[in-house]
Structure 1
Amino acid sequence: MQEQNKSSFFDPKTIFAVVLVAAVWFGWQTYLTKKYPNYNKPAQKTATKEAAKTATPDAAAAAPATVEAQSTPTQGQITEKEYQFQDQNITFTITNHGMGLKNVVLNKYIDYEKKPILLGQSETDTLFEMKLLSQQKPLEFDLKEEAPGQYVGVAQVGTSTVTRTLKYDSEKQAFTNKVVVENPNEQVAQGLTFVVPEKITVPQSTSWLFPSYQHQDFFVKHNGKTETVNFSAAKENVAKQFPSVSLVSVSSQYFAAAILDKSEIIPETSVTASPEGKTAKAELIYKPAANLPKFSLEQIFFAGPKNIETLKHVDAELPAVIDHGFFEVIARPLLYVMKACFSMVGNWGIAIILLTLLVRFCVLPFAIMSAKSMKAMQKIQPLLQNLREKYKNDPMALNRETMALMKEHKANPLGGCLPMLLQIPIFFALYRVIGSSIELYHSPFYGWITDLSSPDKFFVLPILVGLTMFLQQKMTPTTMDPAQAKIMAFLPLVFTLFMLQLPSGLALYMTVSAVFGIVQQYFFLKDSKKVTA
């Protein structure tokens, strides 16, 4: 009998194991349902129906009046309320319609036409407003101001109560947003959205030769990846969806409105833009499970300049909205070096010059190697010509003997390209740094250069770029054939035209770099004459 009891299914250890497994399974299912709203969707719908049947008497009593208000255009006839806020950095008006922000002005900045910098411009939406996805209209909140910059609003959606708390931190120049939803119903489960609207203010370029340097774009971080969608240059309507989003922004080169998700429920994002209607909009969309008795959402909102220190002070993930492109691994260090130079000299133009000299000194050893290789190539040109005549009917023998000759004299035909190849990624990295650094925005240099982020209005620097490149080309010995040499001769002209529409800060970098190259080549030639003598 004892043996039978030991082997019985109903012994305490077995029962404990079954209960433990069931508890773990239930906890895991609850976590998945909360973290990934689309997980086990049919069960959610069933649970929602059951929840509706078993609603509490109080909720049922309150439901008819709320539903009636919700079904009419005047949902919740709440008196319109607005509160204004202003500090040294920002001015905005918050409205009870979605608790969105209107008339958002960055007080420390003006645009190129000396007008205030406005963010979240739209005729139909307000910045960071909250909507029901099913109705695409803002929730009507009973809005109260707890303190300047701190607001609490309560909205009824049928049996659901939505409480939103929005606080502005003047020190960080950012908002914290928290939403608590009690008794979420089917309407809420269809989706809640936060909106970042903007007008398309950058005109499309009509020239393929001179594309518009200014741009506006969406930046989305999803599934650990980042993606930038330029909507100001779009020729047709833009409409994209992104799953599992942690960060979304609508921005220009220097300013951004962004939402950084901090919720347990993972959102998705929809971005749309209409070049014809001059409108753009990003929406962060949450689709919670309807069978949850209560859930909360948390975000960080940012509306301001794309200053890397400011963004890092808000959150370590937020500097990602400064998109330095493919060469970001080079661009970020260059930005910090340039900022270090500025801290010593107090002028961004001089900081660019110091950065240029530092870059050129870093590649100087490779330039010396290149010069030696080119001298060696010039020296063996007569020998190479003899080989071509000797083995003109035997290409394999010609290649073999040519390689042997180059190895003997330590000559490399590609050696002359090495410094240029090293500078190409630096050039593109600086292109992105100078083109998106708020530090250079409206920063003067000297004389006619009053804004390093704008093109040179008198074209002095672009012309200097072309002249110095041409002079450097003439000073540099070449082993190219005449046809290649003619093509290369057009490069200074191409760069001059290219620089006409680029920031004067980048043209300054190119000019200083070319002058350094001329001085460098002068000493190389001088050293070569001494060796020959």
Structure 2
Amino acid sequence: MDTKRLIVFIALSFGILYFWQHYMEQRYPQLKTPATASSVAASGASQASATASTAAAPEAGRLAKGQRITVTTDLLSAVIDTNGADLREVKLLKLGETKDPKKPFTLLQDEGEHIYVAQSGLLGDGLPTHKSIFTSAQSSYTLAEGQNEVVVRLENVAANGVKVAKIYTFKRDKYLVDVKYEIVNGSNAPVTTSAYYRLVRDGKVENPGMFGTHTFTGPAVYTEEGKFQKVDFEKIRKGEAKYVPAAKDGWIAMIQHYFVSGWIFSPKEGSAACTPNACRYEMKALPDNLFAVSATIDLPAIAAGQKLEKSVPLYLGPQESKRLDTVATGFDLVKDYGMFTIFSKPLFAVLQFIHSFIGNWGWSIIIVTLLLKAAFFPLASASYRSMAKMRQLAPRMEALKQRHGEDRVKFQQAVMEMYKTEKVNPLGGCLPMLVQIPVFIAFYWMLLAAVELRQAPWEFWIHDLSIPDPYYILPLIMAVSMYVQSSLSPPPPDPMQAKMMKWMPLAFSVFFFFFPAGLVLYWVVNNILSIAQQYVITKQIEKQSALAKNS
């Protein structure tokens, strides 16, 4: 019985914690502290060479603007600025805005309160950086029907006669954009240069989770040596960023809830950019509360009259598992399942496999619930048998309580002796809930991270499985199912505990009003199946008991 009291205590504690947190966030919203006017370099003496080389490029404060070049494909609507030939705006045409699904989601932008751009440049005397002016033959490009790619060429001619072209290649059904430098040395001397690639974003952080949980927002670096390394904006601001500063492989990324951008230096398709020279990685704070993650690559010397080309792909899109897996080794790690990755990732893999046949995420969740229920069927059956036997012992337990009065020690001893005689495990009834807790939490993190379920409908009134039920119908069904399930459980001997157990379904249902509809759908289906299983087993035990008495 103490176990049930503990469960009630935990439930009420979480409820108080949630509503207190919600109240404090509304009453005292957290203010973002702007960065200081000077840049804060990342820590580590081993980064000295990277810092020195990148420092040659002008630092980003407020972004200067030049001529705007628009690019439209089947998936992207992009804006390139001739100032630096930077990608200044990217809209994802197949994915809607959070508040208005009819409008395309904006990933990159250089206007308004949110700043987030992709930049690159060359280091060397007179060579174009992300502050140099480029020219373009056209101001608008569109991927036409029947075309598989559209190429945007921007050019800059240095004073020393070195001609540089920055060429973007957008491909059909791809969020991966190829960015190529074409350097023609028209001078009379060899040219030595390095190319840098970076992502610049402000420090605004979303918090879509509950009870303090949230997906990561900020820069990340992946190398074979250091593996996946993500760093909070605040650590970068304080100069406490820790990561592998140089490697012969890897990628850099800027991560946010559901979406990611990343420069890929070791793509699964195409040649690696770092070899034979290493990539030097850097994270730093910039003025105006901006943060940059960058990589610098030394290019081979270009003899007079010769040409050099260097391509690096840039991913700009959603964290869809199927797409991430094809980009680069470890790139799927940007999909943040939190500390429950070990459960959430395989759970989503099964869900995605089923969806490939069903075509509806809601029905896929129901089928996964059925499979999980089948997997835990033997364990649940044993637990429900224990609960059914304890339910039958309730009258005898009440008699023992009356016999021993206020002597709780003798009462507990008598109860344990009765359990031993009847071969009943008093903790057996708690197993179904204990087994479901990791799966429940894994489902929560999976739905929190899976962009595939974002704005995905089920049926009827559920038009987005990643947000709460707009009419609270599923949470109400959930409350009813929990009440029915509690009525099938053995009543606690303590009257106060019995009253608390009656209120428990209501306490839990309050949580589900704020959970994603997909998560509530899983729990409702699971509860209905549990009720059916428990009801059948309870009736079987009662029938067996009646036959034993009559024989």
TM-score normalised by the chain length of structure 1: 0.68
- Checking the alignment, whether the CA contact within 8 Å between 1:238 and 1:271 is kept in structure 2 is no
Percent of aligned pairs with the same residue? 25
CA contact (8 A) 1:335 1:433 kept: yes
Among 129, 132, 150, the residue aligned to 2:119: 129
SS of the aligned residue for 1:148 comes to: strand
Amino acid at match of 1:169: K
Superposed CA offset, 1:29-72 (max 9, x none) = xxxxxxxx965969x99xx9xxxxxxxxxxxxxxxxxx9xx999
Structure 2 matches for 1:99-498, cutoff 5 A? 99-111=85-97, 112-113=99-100, 114-123=102-111, 127-130=117-120, 138-140=130-132, 142=134, 148-151=150-153, 166-177=168-179, 192=196, 194-197=198-201, 200=204, 217-218=217-218, 220-222=220-222, 224=226, 226=228, 241-244=241-244, 246-262=250-266, 263-264=274-275, 265-270=278-283, 281-286=291-296, 299-377=312-390, 409-478=422-491, 481-498=494-511
- Partner residue, 2:7: none
Bigger relative contact order (CA 8 A; separation at least 6): 2
Q: Which amino acid aligns with 2:347?
A: L
CA shift digits 1:234-254 (9 cap, x unpaired): 9xx898624227444444433
More helix by share: 1
Unaligned runs of 5+ in 1: 1-36, 49-66
Kept in 2, the 8 Å contact 1:84–1:94? The answer is: yes
> In the alignment, which of 73, 77, 90 is matched to residue 87 of structure 1?
73
Distance 1:478 1:402, change over 3 A: closer
- Decide whether the 8 Å contact of 2:241 with 2:283 is kept in 1: yes
Query: C-alpha root-mean-square deviation of aligned residues, in Å?
Result: 5.0
How many angstroms apart in 1 are the aligned matches of 2:58 and 2:137? 28
Tell me the CA shift for residue 303 of structure 1.
Answer: 1.0
Q: 510-519 or 293-302, which moves further after superposition?
A: 293-302
Aligned residue pairs: how many?
449
Q: Distance in 1 between matches of 2:239 and 2:468?
A: 32
1: distance between equivalents of 2:241 and 2:81?
Answer: 28
- 2:417 and 2:191 map into 1 onto residues whose CA distance is 82
Q: Which amino acid in the other structure matches residue 326 of structure 1? A: M
Point out the structure with max Rg over C-alpha.
1
Cα distance change, pair 506–71 in 1 and its aligned pair in 2 (3 A): closer
Q: C-alpha displacement at 1:523, in angstroms?
A: 0.9
Q: 1:121 to 1:82 in 2, by over 3 A?
A: closer
In the alignment, the residues of structure 2 paired with residue 402 and residue 266 of structure 1 have an alpha-carbon distance, to the nearest angstrom, of 69
Letter paired with 1:121: Q
In 2, the alpha carbon distance for the partners of 1:228 and 1:72 equals 23
Cα pair distance change 1:483/1:357, threshold 3 Å: same
SS in 1 for 2:468: coil
CA distance, structure 2, for counterparts of residue 319 and residue 371 of structure 1 = 40
- After superposing the two structures, state which structure 1 stretch, 260-269 or 498-507, moved more: 260-269
Q: Deviations over 1:138-172 (max 9, x none)?
A: 34154567983354655869999987554333343
Equivalent residue letter for 2:350: V
Residue 423 of structure 1: CA displacement? 1.2
Deviation digits for residues 227-275 of structure 1, max 9, x if unmatched?
66788xx9xx89862422744444443332233343353443437699x
Contact 1:121 1:197 in 2 (8 A): no
Structure 1 residue identity aligned to 2:457: P
| SS state at 2:375 partner | helix
Structure 1 residue 530: deviation in Å?
0.6
- Asked whether the equivalents of residues 215 and 336 of structure 2 are also in contact (C-alpha less than 8 Å), the reply is no
Normalising by structure 2, we get a TM-score of 0.66
For the Cα contact (< 8 Å) 1:239–1:270, is it kept in 2? no
Counterparts in 2 of 1:89 and 1:411: CA distance versus 1, 3 Å: same
Which residue of structure 2 lines up, in the alignment, with residue 13 of structure 1? Answer: none
SS in 1 for 2:241: strand
More displaced, 161-170 or 351-360? 161-170
